[in-house]
Amino acid sequence: MKESIAALRALERQLFAYRYADALFTYDEAAVAPPAGEDGRAVAAETLSAARFALLVSPGTDALLTAAAAEAETERERAEVRELRREYDRICRIPADEYAAFTGLVQRATPAWARARSNNDFAAFAPFLEQIVTARRRQAQYIDPGRDPYDVLLDQYEPGLTSARCDTFFAAVRAAVVPLLAAIQQRGTPVRTDFLQADWPLDAQRALSRRVMALWGLEPEHCIIGESAHPFTDDLWRGDVRITTHYKPDDFTSSLFSVMHEGGHALYERHIDPELDFTALAGGASMGLHESQSRLFENYVGRSRAFIGYLWPTLCELFGQRLAGVTAEEFYRAVNRAVPGPIRTEADELTYPLHIMVRYELEKALIHGELAVNDLPAAWNAKYEEYLGITPKNDAEGVLQDIHWAGGDIGYFPSYALGSAYGAQALDDLRRTMDLDAQWARGDLGPVKNALCERLWRYGCLKTADWLAESLCGGPFDPAHYTRYLTQKYTALYEL
């Protein structure tokens, strides 16, 4: 191995350590730590963030990347240079103190958000969000002063994504979803959901989570299920991928589909080539690709008629009398009912992208300075009225419902909708040669997992996000697969 490549790999290993600590801080804060311990965590996170920044951003690293670019021979070596150079170019323009201060800020903002949400008190969170929006806007300007700042942020989560591409994509989705939803509301055959209202024991819900993890093939030796206000997946490294869920006593399907969703993220991380451990190529390649896997396992597998047929006896075993007199078909329809509601993570597949559009438009307006943080709750409620025909009953179930902005993630949301579209196209392509429904009906996820591993998972960041999206989809991206899927599913379900 050339000297520059060896030095690069040593640097990657060091950077991994800081990423690991950061991921652990995140998991700990949300699922473990005492609620009032944030000051020390913020000080520690800020310091470690500054140390990581100093490690990456230095004339030495710049020179090393240049030398390694000249000496890289294998695809992997070139990819390592590409990924580190991309990160270097992005953060080297941000002043070191602002970079570290931002880390401390989100460490403080996240528990402040959790408290504000519990207390339904947007005003308590607003000063943090104000600072986060300002900081993100400044970061975008540092990174590329000539570009639209929101586009700069989008690119961090999904390389190459722009507002223009989002607008085109969402226009196509809207054109399919809005009339479909209207048709359902006007003339859809009603779906029975009364049996979902019951008292669902938490022990049985926890047992169900473990069953889903086992069906997904996620081993407890490497994956744990924590509990947090907002479900998420946290990959410390390939051998330690954690998911969280939130159990609701009155609705076991909330946690069920959360676990399926986060389990999809975990499968992706668990199947990256072990050769890439502790390097810049470990981890999923983009948030859109990541969400494609989570939403695939949540919706295309988990909410499919075939898989629900397979899962039904397990549900009846765990919940006993509460599901007596209900059929698998009725359950399938109930968990796929299209009903506008206030909460994104509990939305059905049809209304889901409308929740994303609300966030996309609002966060873009915040970054563009066209919307003030103090005006956000009213704007949120107005958008919900416009797109979904409902008004959240308070800010806790409105603008405060998601953790993303508190964590500094502005520009992330569009990747959820994009991911759904990637997944629909990938499955259309796979179905040309595989009878997925027959496999899922017998609980066999092996073939679909093998195919996804082959097309996407194993690569980590070895290939670019664009290349991987095309590999996953089996061709150039085309949102028509997604809109056709939604149209067919909901036309049949509501007998339109």
Q: Report the catalytic residues.
A: 262
Please report where in the chains the tokens 């059929």 appear, as a residue.
327
Of the pair 25, 99, the CB lying nearest its own copies is at 25
Q: Pairing mode, if any, of strands 233-237 and 240-245?
A: antiparallel
> Does residue number 196 form part of the binding site for its own copies (CB under 8 A)?
no
Q: Which is nearer to its own copies, 282 or 436 (CB)?
A: 282
Binding mask 204-243 for its own copies (x = CB under 8 A): ---------------xxxxxx-x---------xxxxx-x-
Report if residue 25 touches its own copies, rule: CB under 8 A.
yes
Q: CB of 243: closest distance to its own copies in angstroms?
A: 11
Q: Where in 238-267 is the site for its own copies (CB under 8 A)?
A: 238-240, 242
53 binds its own copies (CB under 8 A): no
Residues contacting its own copies: total by CB under 8 A: 44
CB of 164 to its own copies, least distance (A): 39
Query: Alpha carbon of 355 to those of 164, 177, 362, 366: distances in Å?
Result: 19, 12, 11, 17
**Beta carbon nearer to its own copies, 184 or 225:** 225
| Helices within 271-322 (DSSP H only) | 287-295, 305-319
Query: For the CA atoms of the chain, what is the radius of gyration?
Result: 22
Is residue 106 within 8 Å of residue 408, measured between CB atoms?
A: yes
312 lies in the binding site for its own copies (CB under 8 A): no
Q: Which of 2, 9, 51, 487 binds its own copies (CB under 8 A)?
A: 51
Q: Given the complex with its own copies, which of 204 and 430 has the nearer CB atom?
A: 204
Among positions 2, 7, 20, 312, the unique one binding its own copies when judged by CB under 8 A: 20
Binding flag, residue 39, its own copies (CB under 8 A): yes
Q: Residues near 29 by Cβ (< 8 Å), separated by ≥ 6? A: 38, 41, 107, 110, 111
- Binding-residue pattern over the window 271 to 290 for its own copies, x denoting contact by CB under 8 A: ------xx------------
Point out which span in 35-43, 338-346, 375-383, 462-470 binds its own copies (CB under 8 A).
Answer: 35-43
Tell me whether residue 447 is exposed, middle or buried, using C-beta atoms within 10 angstroms of its C-beta: 0 to 12, 13 to 18, 19 or more. middle
Closest approach of its own copies to the CB of residue 402, in Å: 24
Q: Which is nearer to its own copies, 269 or 402 (CB)?
A: 269
Q: Enumerate residues 6+ apart whose C-beta is below 8 A from 471.
A: 455, 456, 459, 463
Q: Going by C-beta distance under 8 Å and a sequence separation of 6 or more, which residues neighbour residue 172?
A: 479, 480, 483
Task: Output 151 or 262, the one with its CB closest to its own copies.
Answer: 262
**The two structure tokens encoding residue 147:** 């570009």
Binding segment for its own copies among 32-40, 327-335, 397-405, 472-480 (CB under 8 A)? 32-40
Q: For residue 163, give the amino acid letter.
A: S
* Measured CA distances, 1 to 23, 73, 81, 156, 462 (Å): 31, 9, 14, 31, 18
- Alpha carbon distance 441, 468 (integer Å): 28
Strands laid side by side in the 240-245 sheet: 225-227, 240-245, 233-237
Told to check if 48 binds its own copies by CB under 8 A, we report yes
Residues that bind its own copies (CB under 8 A): 13-14, 16-18, 20-21, 24-25, 27-28, 31-41, 43-48, 51, 219-224, 226, 236-240, 242, 277-278
